[in-house]
Chains A and B, each alone.
Chain A
Amino acid sequence: MASVAVERPAERGVGVKRVGSRGVLLLVVLGVLWGVWEGFRAIGIHYGLTRPFTVDATSMPHIHDMFKALFERPNAEGPLLIVTLLEAAAFTAKEAALGFAMGSVGGFAIGALLAHSRMLQRGFLPYVVASQTVPILAIAPMVVIWFTNPNSTFHVTAWVAVAILASYLTFFPVAIATLRGLQATDHRAVELMRSYAANRWTVLWKLRFPTALPYLFSALKISATASIVGAIIGESPTSIAGGLGGAILNFAQFYSFQPQNLWATNIVAAALGIAFFLVVVGAERLVLRHAPENVA
């Protein structure tokens, strides 16, 4: 029988070209955004706009000033801002990474448990959903009091408490995606497993889990960025000053004098979020490389 043409999504050369044109597109978009910001700023200052907010040098610093601020010293005898921010980012990344890991594992466990039994799903899913309506700032004091009291048999350092708070934001998307993914199997694929008299565990690991992987990765991408947000927010109720959350609070206080410092901090925080996201995308490419149509 004649063999069928094997379709490869992209030859290597084409792939490089695509990456290149993507880079150009990225730069063009950045340039346009830059132009919109500076353009609005110029018009706003020229005409004295007060809507939607008063446009002046404080509310909208120059973008080049934000980047310039990275390489200046906020305090005469202190280090460069970028050094401070990178140290803070590394600290926050540590909290976020642990939170992401705990949240993902926990979310997967919850999703798998709920997928296992319709009764559990009916009983507990509403609470899983409701958990996300409680703001992280409201549970932070409890986490701090429960887990950081040195008199308790089990207690953790403050940054681990932040990780616990970050995991609170990350487990949810993973739990929901796991639940959906594990139930997304084609009924004939399940019938096939039944014809082999496969037990529940075999069906889970050989069929349901691989089917759920694309769903799982979509959720992990959301969780990766959420873990950064969770870590940054979690740093203030746990009184951690060394992370990006501390830097944001600090520079927010001095915003009217040096607005560019807060903006520079935001840029670093965004870059950290993007880095986390890209790590998950890389893992997804690696794990799902044999089923390209499953990669979103």
Chain B
Amino acid sequence: MSVVEIQGVSKEFKGGTVALQDIDLQIEQGEFVSLIGPSGCGKSTLLRVIGDLIEPSRGAVTVNGKSARQARQDHDYGIVFQDAVLYNWRTVAKNVALPLELAGWSRERRQARVEEMLDLVELRGFADHHPWQLSGGMQQRVSIARALSFDPALLLMDEPFGALDEMTRERMNAELLRIWEASKSTVVFVTHSIAEAVFLSTRIVVMSVRPGRISKVIPVDLAQPRGTATREEPRFFELATEVREALHLGGHVEVPA
């Protein structure tokens, strides 16, 4: 059974903008799939359709074999946005515990899990800090810990590192891969960055603009686990080139760096 199954999904916004057109996509257990494309290609919309935060105009989405709505209600996915979206009045620990609180976990279970999660994102010792005391990269790791805290089968990420500087971003990429391997989750990852997509993904979905369509799907056969050396392999550059060309073919719009 696929974790995500998207069949014939289209989305038109009020005013007639076609954000998505005839999207078909299957994502299997344990995959790391990146959605890449120029601004306005609907990649964030597609992510929100999977998460049942936006309703498609046509087509069907199933997550874990259920309707997207049911999956949302069953807490089947965690989501990470471009901004960490932490609640400033809560400590780091309480931010991570938020979804657990809403799911009715007991205090002891929550505490144990929060500790586990902070270990995973290497923020042990920051439990009692407040978000405004952390750097952008650390905040985003709190947000990842929060998204993974209830052990969702699926992790949706909407340009999570887009606001970070290049150095921090590369470090976060490596960390995310480590977390992905440790948590055995399935990831759908929206990005602007070709290098990021190639480095992280097992499969890259290239989208084009107006209307938002899938123009190419590129499997990434780089060996796991990946590290700094991966970025210097010839295969890395070949794949990056392939993605870049697909982006050029897909649209007459400026191509992101």
Contacts and interface: CB of A to CB of B under 8 A. Distances in A.
Nearest to A194: B53
8 contacts: A4-B133, A4-B134, A206-B87, A206-B98, A206-B101, A206-B102, A290-B88, A291-B88
Nearest to B143: A192
Interface stretch (A35-43, A196-204, A215-223): A196-204
Interface residues of B, number: 33
Contact of A290 (B75, B78, B89, B125): B89
A54 interface: no
Contact of B79 (A4, A192, A198): A192
A208 to B, nearest CB: 11
Contacts of A1: 122, 137-138, 171
B89 A210 contact: yes
Contact of A291 (B79, B126, B130, B138): B130
B171 to A, nearest CB: 7
A130 interface: no
B40 to A, nearest CB: 19
Interface in B50-85: 51, 53, 72-73, 75, 77-79, 81, 83, 85
A195 B68 CA distance: 11
A182 to B, nearest CB: 15
Interface in B125-165: 125-126, 129-130, 132-135, 137-138
A82 to B, nearest CB: 43
Contacts, number: 66
A3 B122 CA distance: 11
B179 to A, nearest CB: 14
B227 interface: no
A219 B191 CA distance: 42
A189 B143 CA distance: 12
Given A195-B53, A288-B89, A294-B89, 5 more contacts: A7-B133, A194-B72, A196-B75, A196-B102, A291-B89
B75 A291 contact: no
Given A195-B72, A291-B132, A188 B122 contact: no
A10 interface: no
A19 interface: no
Contacts of A207: 87
A6 B53 contact: no
Interface in B210-238: none
Contacts of A291: 88-89, 130, 132
A293 interface: yes
A196 B152 CA distance: 11
B45 to A, nearest CB: 13
B99 interface: yes
Contacts of B129: 6
Nearest to B138: A4
Identify the 9 closest CB pairs spanning chains A and B, nearest first: A4-B135, A197-B73, A291-B88, A195-B79, A188-B85, A210-B89, A6-B133, A196-B102, A291-B89
A87 interface: no
Contacts of A6: 129, 133
Interface in B87-102: 87-89, 91, 98-99, 101-102
Contacts of B130: 290-291
